[in-house]
Chain A
Amino acid sequence: MIQDYLLEEKLPLFWCAGCGNGIVLQAILRNIDRRGWTRENTVITTGIGCWGKADDYVTTNSFHGTHGRALPFSTGIKLANPDLNVFTLMGDGDGITIGGNHLIHAARRNVDLVAIMVNNLNYGMTGGQYSGTTPKHAITKTSPYGHVENGFDVCRVVQAAGAPFVARGTVYDVVQLDKLISKAIDHKGFSFVEVISPCPTHFGRSNKLGDAPKMMQWIKDNTVSREKAASMSYEELRGKFVTGIFEEREQEDYGTAYQKVIDSLRGGERE
């Protein structure tokens, strides 16, 4: 029962009507439930921002740290106790903007973590300013005349940084999202899933994208599968959300590699 992992006394959720965060949280809890993980052996770490509030609603262990630093907190938590199942939840502000350096090094370091970055294309918590993923020309509270910068293609960044599992889904295609999270969990090493999610209150309103159902439709209409995207030009892909699995390969994780160092020195077990 996913209810076992949901701190029901804290509901209703703090997020706005139509915010996709709850959809992602439900997909995560479904996956935890399916595996029968206990609250005791699960840790959910979060950053700061709307999605950073997710730990408020879970009955597992949780760690609510600082903006952008969820991954290094998780790194310490997991390396110090490899038996834990550690989920790292980040927004686009957390994950690729203020915490971008942690993200690329986590991808390279390859600690056995699952990182779920909800990308709603702006800073929701602080009122809708632009983030590192806000697309060019988009209107936000701090790009009132249209954004002059380009947004990151986060999966490309993480893939280039060496993560062994990289995928993107959307809260519209919730069946695919469930599967991507499932595969990320089952993949040993650093597994990264970006989830495109609507912020009807800020990004949607600023860019006249309509209410929550209309924003979901907008995400659906602009989603392109990885396979289809392969034959599209850079210009054709502007403003599109390419979904699917971009990287899936075996690679020795940090904990396993370090344990070999320990074993070679003392032929024993980690204390």
Chain B
Amino acid sequence: MFDFGIITNWIHTQLTAVMSEGAAVFLECVIIGICLLLLYVVIAIIMIYMERKVCAAFQCRLGPVRVGPWGSIQVICDVFKMLTKEIITIRHSDKFLYNLAPYIVILASVMAFACIPISRGLEILDFNVGVLFFMAASSIGIVGILLAGWSSNSKYSLIGAMRSGAQMISYELSVGLSILTIVVLTDTMQFSEIVMRQADGWFIFKGHIPAVIAFVIYLIAGNAEVNRGPFDLPEAESELTAGYHTEYSGMHFGLFYVAEFVNLFIISGIAATIFLGGWMPLHIPGLDGFNAVMDAIPGFIWFFAKAFFIVWLLMWIKWTFPRLRIDQILTLEWKYLVPIGLLNLLLMVIVVVFKLHF
């Protein structure tokens, strides 16, 4: 398995050779920041394109075909369009908060994005409480959405924001519980470490029953966390026109739009990392030849393949199911997912204590 740490370390030694340690670190931070944002944008573009093609396939349509081969640069057009659209100032809105809101959403999304280990040695934020940091960073997004709804001076936005507040804070709990279930299994909160522990089998296999339950809960809660159908109440098109971002135009709306798609990727990426081994290839203990072949495939391909598989799964759900109602969403969370999650956590503890896992 190729370790990107070799490259990064080499760059670091080259840089320290020509400048002081502090300056080198600063320069590296800048470069990494730029790379992170670039990757963020690329992922966003791929996700939006994928969404269009996938939903077109489900709906017996073609989707974009005109711009570029198979419509592949359609999203670039949209970006140009978005950038050149007017940003409307809303009368009687709280201008500062109104303009701040999309940036908070995107900031939270970028911070959470940085937590995902893409390949061996390609972890940007990786420390011993990484899971905790990820949870904290991703929940800042709610603040942005609430601000957007509150400051827009529109009743639709306000209802949308209140819905998302109730929904996202509730589902945060289930996301946390299902991640915690795996943390119990691994006894580490560091993402790179979590991936390394899956070298002899992914957690979804190693943790068997409780891990599978946790995985399913995570998918449901994660889907709700990013406001995607069937949990897309905050922006329920047929009810609230566009929910919390009704009044946003131009690139401000674009930021919400992009953040939504990347958040979906982040949720899928984390699911892939925690349950499906992240960049770790499929290893079956005892079959060395098989494992060697699997190792030949680079880690980031493993990671993206798993992440996009889960993205596809969530898209499938989105385009099939009708939307839930707000009371049903909260019932599902508080009456079903949280108790099941808690029991599942207990089950995992029992499994770990009595060493019933593989």
Pair from one complex = no
Q: B: which residues have CB within 8 A of A?
A: none
Q: A: which residues have CB within 8 A of B?
A: none
